Every structure is written in structure tokens, then in C-alpha cells.
Structure 1
């Protein structure tokens, strides 16, 4: 080691300061994990990139406590219209739901949001960012990984427990894993142009399925207009440097295609690929390093944020001795299927968008027929065609038989309550709703701001502390679980008096949305993971058995399962400092 020095140690090394690496670093920093984030570039990427943020991703922004700084670069309720070559609207995508606490779609300017994510890391003493630092080698050891990095001419080594590669499609980390990158890369190239001082000045989003030349026109925050145009096979990429050619692309869309204030212009080729594995030992990959997808439905950025949200709490749980290393296997098991489903959907959307000739005429006829059927029209408008993440394997417990590690879509009937429940679809493995609620100390706030960014148990009409014995409560305490009891607003003051001596947080369901959720299902208790997905649900009397099954599903250590060992979480071993929508 005479020519190299070990200049840093960290629990997690993150490679790549794109949105996924920055999100993962913010979440881990909030959990008190020591992180080194390295980025080969000397500055963040500032050219045109992602423009669509889902409500799920905005919920993660909320968990990071960055809503105020990020929201200034967003436009909520981004309405998208698919139009044909004659300007006829084929499909309007205008979801009105806010089940996760935020509008379903936001337009955003990625370089500006990335800067806010980077600035957010200044809050954490345990997070170090090293720009202009390239990963060049990884050496795996029994108790960690030694990463060799280069900054300028100097090479140094970083010792770490885990490495997460978030460095994009050409990921060194994925290559080190030996993972195959399976899928397709359509030959179509698109030129993307971002223009300041929006020459249209409207908030519209149009996907132009024009057989003459497919295009995209998007109104973005801060008076920015994005245009995207497909390039044909006989058009060389360097043609976009010709001002006359670019003016010819813009002329059908603008009163004057000249003298525009262009922020950035690049040519992209769409890809649809997924890595054969997201993990090997202490090395993992996320975001574009793990999967690439065409941009049609704006899911590349959002899928990467889902990866980071899934992985952050699992790494923290292993590093704090709450769970065995096998918990990290569930990251691949949970995220791969949904990422693949999103790739497939985007590939289909691309084929619809770029159809020509007879295919385009069939598409237009089919779209008009579909929009005449209210149920199908609503299915498109509300984005129900987009597969929501549903984890059927991993940190889940089947509601019917309490089997750990897997869950069925439909609840098998065991009790009359399950037979009588209107909704027979199991809620396990999907995100829990986030309505506005009130507590003794907070009025009209989002539920996540009450439950906090770690594990929680939510019970309807019961103090969950009364559902467990002392040993079970000690187990939940070691895991850092926050207990919540939800009551209708009419019972709120009574519940405060009745449970005055309890450490449970009493929640007032001021808008009745939690009651509607519980009323529709044979569920009295919900076990919520830190990523807001439902790990388990049960009737009140089943709560103790459900804890046992959940401990198995999450690979909890013996120290957590028993009364031996010090693994207490909360404000000590897992200093959860992030969270809150403001």
C-alpha cells in the first residue's frame, strides 16, 4: 500500500451523483448511516433530462424533508394529451387521485431538482460528497469492500461495508458484478431541446403521434418549454447542429422558430434493458445502472427513486444489526419485476407513439372507440394502465395464512369478516394511503409526517399496545416501531383521555379516508415499512402472530427476536433525523 492511501471509511459507498445516488444518500444520511458519495464529473449534469415526477417519488421527497426546496421546481397536475397528426386528442391523461398525499403527476426540471438533492446532503455530518472522483476498482472482502478511486492523478482507497452503483447505463459497478444487461435498444433517436422564456407560454403536455414526425411538447416550470423530435434513419445525428434543420422541426409548433433562448439540446437513443441481477454480496446497483427504459411515460427517473427508497431502509437495518444480510436479497426480488413491467409498458407506449401508415390509422380508430366507453376512458385518464408497485415476494406476510416472505393477491377467506369485506384484494405489498390527519400536536398534516420515516403499526379504533404482550412490545421497541391508533374525529378527545398514559400516537381521521380504507377490507391492523409499503395486515387478535411472521420475512436477527443483546433503535442506534413535508 506504499503508493496508495486509505483516505476514507464509510458504511456505504454510493457511486454516481445522479438523482438515484443523491436520493439514496439523503435517505441514508437521515437514518444516521455514514456515506461517501463519489461522482466522476466535477459538476452535476445540467443538460435536458427527466421531466415527469410521480406521486410516489414526491412522497420520497417528503420523507427526505425537501418538499419546500424541490416543489419550487415542479408543476403539479401535469396533464398529458396524446394527439394524432391532425391534432385530434386521442387520449387525455389527467389523474385526479391523491391517495398517496400528492398529485399523481408533476412536471419538473431535473437539473434544478438534482441541485436541491445535493444541497440537502449538507444537513448530514456523516455524508461526504467527492466530485471529480472516479471508481476504478473494487475488491470484495469478508467484512466489506475496498474501492479504489481516482481524483485527478491521485489514487486512493475507500473502505466500506457496502457499495451501491448508481452511475447510469455504462455502470462500472454492474460490469464488476458480471450482470448481463438484457433487453432491446430501439434504433430510433430523438433530439431533445429545452427552451427558456417559453415561446408558447402554456402548461400543456402533448405527445404528438404524428406519422410525419412524432414529437413531444411539454410546458415545464420556470417558463421552460421542452420539444422532442424523432430523427429518421436517414438523418445523421450531426444534422441537429444545422440551425435550418432545427428551425424546420420547430416551425409547425411555433409562430417563429428563430431567435429562441435554447438552454440545452441533445440527441438520445431509447433503451429498454434490465440487469440480470441487482446484487452480488456487498455490491448492489440501482437506477439506470440496473435498468434502462424509454422515456414515454416518464418512468426512468421515478423507477430509480423507487430503487433508492426500497434499498435505503434495508441497508440501514442490516448495518444496525436489526436484520441479517439476507434482507438485501429482497431488494432484487421486490424491485426487478416492477422495473421489468415498466420497461415493457414504455416499449408498448413507444410503438403506439411512433406508429405510421396503416398502424397509425388503426391506432386512431381504436383510441376513438375506447374513449366512447366511460370505464375505459377513465382507465386511461386516471393512469390505471400504469402498473403500481406490488411486492408479492420479500418483506411481506400473506394476509390469509400469515405465511412470511410471500403474499397472494386475493385474501383467502378464514373468518366471516373476510367473507363479508367488500374488497377481497389483499393490500399487502402495495403502498398505504396518505390522507391528512390531526394529532394533539399537529393539525391537518399528512400521515407520513405523523408516522415518521421508519416502521409503524397503524390500528383502527384500538391502542395497538394493548394487542401485544411485554416481550412483543420489547421486540417492536428494538425495531424502532412507531405505534399509531386511528379514531374518527368524533372520538378524538375521548381517545386522548382513555389512552392518556400510552406512548401510542392518537390520530384523528378528520377526513374519513382512513375509515373508508379500513371499512373496505377485513383489516384492523397495518404494519408499515419505512418505504410506506404494507408489510402485513391482520385482524386485531392476529397481531402477535403477525409480528412473528414479519420478523421472519425481514430476516430479523436473533438479538431482535429475543430478549438478549442491545439493538435498540429509535433515537439511539438509528437516529432518524429526516422526515416531514416541511
Structure 2
């Protein structure tokens, strides 16, 4: 059968929009289908983190997304008396962006939708509901119900090489795959209230661990305020969305509840579930279709974007003929553990907030007061060190000591002097490389990703990258589409630019952040994947062996076409 598209993405929510933007950025043919006539226009997610903003940057949407965000979104957990139990206000920007940001999801989603118009290879269709999927010899055939402008309907079919279901927690794609959706849905229900013209005006988040009725109060961009209130048994949906009931809930929070400009009043239930598999053959799921989590950590939107970022470059690599389908196995392997960790953490925080038993409340508050006396503990919560950062120990990774492809232990165990004397024995493989600002011949004070490009990057501290690799290695790196980057102190940049080949980017470390990173680790050669995670890191003499192991781990196919190599550089 002829193919109508390379990738069929089902669902124009944030995950489908991000995945389609990234695939479009990588030059792939994508069709995005949405059953609704347009995007959902009411607020849902409210927090976007630094990792997601880095993906927004990769997709080239920074200028249109940032106007709908508030950086450095501070959260305070308070008890029923308004006493602060803990707070987090992380100031780190190691990935180039603030760790916590508020945002208006409908406007950010709209910016992502409008961004798709840049890509001639992307086709977006609303009023297209996928009814069924059927595997073919070399792809997937989707049957679609299309609602025309006059209300009539028509059945169509699209034959795709791959299908990704991003249609939320009730995903029909997941049901078609026949996988389990393990977990639980706590019986606790919550009322969410969004208003325009914020009557408080404070820009922060308050998590109210009030035993009388736990609540959340969130200041959002564009003068929007959100409240969430826990509901009790016997309080029906009709009862709690009644304006008088809502006004009584808000009486302790605003001077005049009746004078508010309401956007919506809506009841929802938290869920904590994860699919038993994110893939069946050429069909995959991402975002809420693959995992659902309570709202407490604000990680539902962000976890879905992580899925999209991980999956996009792998699909693009396969479609360019540079890897076999085995590469898709690493999507489930890499994303599952971290998604589950975020589900578990969100459940834990929710259990702290919604306690109503007086004895348990008193115990919780006393423990919090004691812990706040310890600076290290206070800093642990303030800087969000409790949030598990993604670390891939299996997948497209190579152990820095054994050079074994497909797995990487969390510690460097080498016996050479550089390893024995390193400031940290924690391996950098499987985590994101930082993104400080650098200077090049053409630009000053720019984020590192703007220098390295959107695909594979080989970062070498000090050395000319072309001296680190053999002629055969350089040919394979060219075939992979990797950008070679020499990182040096700013004081050495001009010297290096005069002596190194023109196709090697020389970036000057103006802040000293990069030098410190390499000072602390015995890994001056770093292989960075398109999703900015480190696939391999090693000493200069181990660069060739590490490269070969990475190519093995990603099921690399030798002899990609010239067209594929050209598209890599264009992207």
C-alpha cells in the first residue's frame, strides 16, 4: 500500500502538538488529527518546567510561548492557620530556563498550533475522529470519521508508517493496543475555579493543607487566578458548581466573591495510572494516553512533553533510514521509570495536603516545623531537589567505564587517575547536558543549544574534535548528522577559531560554568542526543569506542542516503 503520511499523530493536545512540531522541525511528513473542531479553550495545566521550555526552544517556539508564562513560580505549602510548612522557589537555570514557570495552557497550545504552519511537511485536520486502526504489512491503516462544515460525515482512511496516540486518558489508541492501564483513581474529587481579573494579584502558588477543606490558590499570567477545593462525600457536581456554593468557598480567599469574572467551575477526579506498554509494533502512545498523574507537582503537561521530545528524534532517525525499528523499544525503556516516579511523587504530595484527621494534621505540622529548622532540609524543598530528574540507565546510552552499549550505571568506576581524582563519581550519561550561555565568532551571550543545533552534537573540551576521531569515525559522525563543537574558555576562543576547521563550531565559555562541569568529571568528550540527553561521555582516547557503542545502542544502519544526510543538516 502507498503511504499517505510518515507519522499519524492522533490528538491535538499539548503532547500531539509538541510531537508534531518537533517532527516538523526534523523535516518529517506528519498528519495531525483532532476529533474536536478546535483546541480546548479553557485552562488545564498551569506549570511548565525548564525541561519543557528547552523542548519549546528546540521546536523554535520560544518567542510565541514565553509571553504566556511567568518565570520563577514560587509555591508555599501552608496549614489551616496560614503557617508555611515548606516552600519551593528554585533559582537554578542549569538547562537555560527557570525551573518553575506558570503558563496559560490554551494560549501556549495555540502558539504550538500556529507554529505548525511553518512546516510544509505537516498537515493538521480538525473534526477527524479515528474510529479504528489496522496493522498492514508495513504500516498502520486508520479509518476516520470526518465531520464536514455542513455537518455531514464521511469515512476516510489514512495509511501511515507509524501512529502515535496522544488523545488523553481515555485513549482509543491505548485500548486498541490492548495494554493494561495500571494504577488507581483516588476517590477524592476537586472543584476547579478559574477567574479573570485576578482579585488577589499575588503571583505565587499556595497549597492549602487546611483540614477544614484543602485548597489550592494559583496566580497565573494575564491576570488569571485559579482555585481548587477538595470536595467531600455527599457534595454533588451540581451542588458544588452552583454560584452560591462557589461564593461561599471563596469567602475566606477574596473580599467579594460575587464580583468575580468567572471563566469556569468544573469538578474533576485525580488519577494515577501508567500503561503496561507504550508501544505495540508501529503504534505508540504518549502523554496522558500513556500515564496519568495527580496535579500536585504540575507534571502532567511536562511529562507528556518529555515523551514527545524523546520519541520525536527516534521516529525521525528511523524514517531517515538511519536505524531499525528496534530504536523504538528504547522509548518505553527510557520514559517508563521516570513517568512512574512523577506519578508516585504527585500522589505523595497530595496525601500530605489533603489530610483532615486532626491528630495527623498536628503531627504533620509539627514535623514540618522541626524540619524547617534544618538548613539542608529547608534547601532540599526550596530548590526542588526532591523532584526526580530523568536519568536513563538503559536505552540509547553507553556506560562511561565499560563502554557497554545500551546500559549505563549511575557511577563512574574507572581506575585511571582522572577518574579516581574526579570531584564527582556520578556518571553524566543518561541525564541532560546543561545549557549555559556561550559566545561564538558570530554571536555573543547565546544559549548553548542555539550553537549546537537541533540534532546530535559532539562536545569536546579544549581539543579539536577532528583530532579526537579517526577518518572512519568522522565519516560516521557525518552520516549521523552530528555537529562537532569545541568548548574552550573565552580567552582561548580566538586562537582556536584561527586553527580549527571551519565546520567545527568553537564556543567560548564566558561564565566558567562549562569549565567547572568538565573540571568535576573525567569526561571531556560528550555525545549529546537530539533530546539533549547524554548518550556517552569519555576520555579523548575512548571517543572512538564510545561512538561505536552509541551507534550499536541506537540500532544504527550504515549507509544512509545522501538525501537523509542533507535533511539532517537542514534541520
User: Which residue of structure 1 aligns with residue 405 of structure 2?
Assistant: 404
Is the Cα–Cα contact under 8 Å of residues 3 and 161 in structure 2 kept in the other structure?
no
Aligned counterpart, 1:61: 56
Q: Is the 8 A contact 1:322 1:567 kept in 2?
A: no
* Alpha-carbon RMSD: 1.2
Number of residue-to-residue matches in the alignment: 565
1:110 equivalent in alignment to 2:105: yes
1:465-504 equivalence runs, <5 A: 465-499=466-500, 501-504=501-504
Q: Give the Cα–Cα distance (whole angstroms) in 2 for the partners of residues 264 and 7 of structure 1.
A: 46
Helix, strand or coil: the match of 2:267? strand
Q: CA 1:544/1:575 → structure 2, altered by over 3 Å: closer, same or farther?
A: closer
Q: Post-superposition shift, 1:569?
A: 4.2
Task: Decide which moves more: 364-373 or 176-185.
Answer: 364-373
Give the Å deviation of 1:262: 0.7
Residues 32 and 575 in structure 1, CA contact (< 8 A), matched pair in contact too: no
Q: Indicate the residue corresponding to 2:68 in structure 1.
A: 73
Shift of 1:8: 7.7
> 1:288 maps to what in 2?
288
Q: Does residue 1:203 correspond to 2:203, yes or no?
A: yes
Q: Is the alpha carbon distance of 1:576 and 1:213 closer, same or farther for their aligned partners in structure 2, counting shifts above 3 Å? A: farther
Q: Deviations over 1:534-572 (max 9, x none)?
A: 00000011101111111111110133xxxxx635645x2
Deviation at 1:386, TM superposition (A): 0.5
2:328 pairs with 1:328: yes
2:567 corresponding residue in structure 1: 573
SS at 2:258's partner residue?
coil
Which residue is 2:464 aligned to?
Answer: 463
- Structure 2 counterpart of 1:354: 354
**C-alpha distance in structure 1 between counterparts of 2:194 and 2:456, whole Å:** 41
Give deviations 1:50-101, integer Å, cap 9, x for gaps. 0000100000011111111100000000000000000001111000100000
Task: Give the whole-Å Cα distance in 2 for the aligned partners of 1:201 and 1:420.
Answer: 52
Q: Deviations over 1:420-463 (max 9, x none)?
A: 00100001000000000010111100000000110000000011
Query: Aligned residue for 2:364?
Result: 363
How far apart are 1:359 and its partner, in Å? 1.4
Change (3 A) 1:151 1:575: farther
Question: Which ranges of structure 1 fall in alignment gaps of 5 or more residues?
Answer: 1-5, 560-564, 578-582
Q: 1:34–1:323: structure 2 CA closer, same or farther, 3 Å change rule?
A: same
Aligned equivalents of 1:213, 1:304: Cα separation in 2? 30
* C-alpha separation in 2, matches of 1:166 and 1:180: 17
Offset of residue 497 of structure 1: 1.5
**CA distance 1:42–1:143, change in 2 (3 Å):** same
Deviation at 1:469, TM superposition (A): 1.2
Query: Deviation of residue 166 (structure 1)?
Result: 0.1
Give 1:3-402 correspondences, 5 Å limit: 9-152=4-147, 153-356=153-356, 357-402=358-403
CA distance in 2, matches of 1:202, 1:380: 21
Structure 2 CA distance for aligned equivalents of residues 467 and 543 of structure 1 = 7
Gap change, CA 1:203 and 1:38, over 3 Å in 2: same
| Separation of aligned partners in 1, 2:6 and 2:569 | 15
In the aligned structure 2, how far is the partner of 1:50 from the partner of 1:406? 34
CA contact (8 A) 2:278 2:284 kept: yes
**Contact kept in structure 2, 1:7 and 1:156, CA below 8 Å:** no
- Offset at 1:413? 2.3
Separation in 2, partners of 1:325, 1:295:
34
Asked if the contact 1:47/1:265 (under 8 Å) is kept, the reply is no
Contact persistence 1:25–1:35 (CA under 8 A): yes
Secondary structure class of the residue paired with 2:257? coil
Question: Contact 1:453 / 1:576 at 8 angstroms: preserved in 2?
Answer: no
The residue matched to 1:508 in structure 2 has which SS? strand
Cα 1:54–1:576, aligned 2, differ >3 Å: closer, same or farther? Answer: farther
In 1: Cα distance, 2:265 partner to 2:70 partner: 22
Tell me whether 79-88 or 490-499 shows the greater mean CA deviation: 490-499
Name the CA shift for 1:569/1:481 in 2 (closer, same or farther; >3 Å).
farther
Match of 2:436 in 1: 435
Report what 2:150 is aligned to.
none
- 2:469 and 2:409 map into 1 onto residues whose CA distance is 26
CA apart distance, 1:38: 0.3
- Give SS of 1:95's match: coil
Hey, what's the Cα distance between the residues in 2 that align with 1:470 and 1:558? 15
State the TM-score, normalized to the length of structure 1: 0.96
Structure 1 pair 525–138 and aligned structure 2 pair: CA distance change class (3 A):
same
Moved over 4 A (4+): 567-570
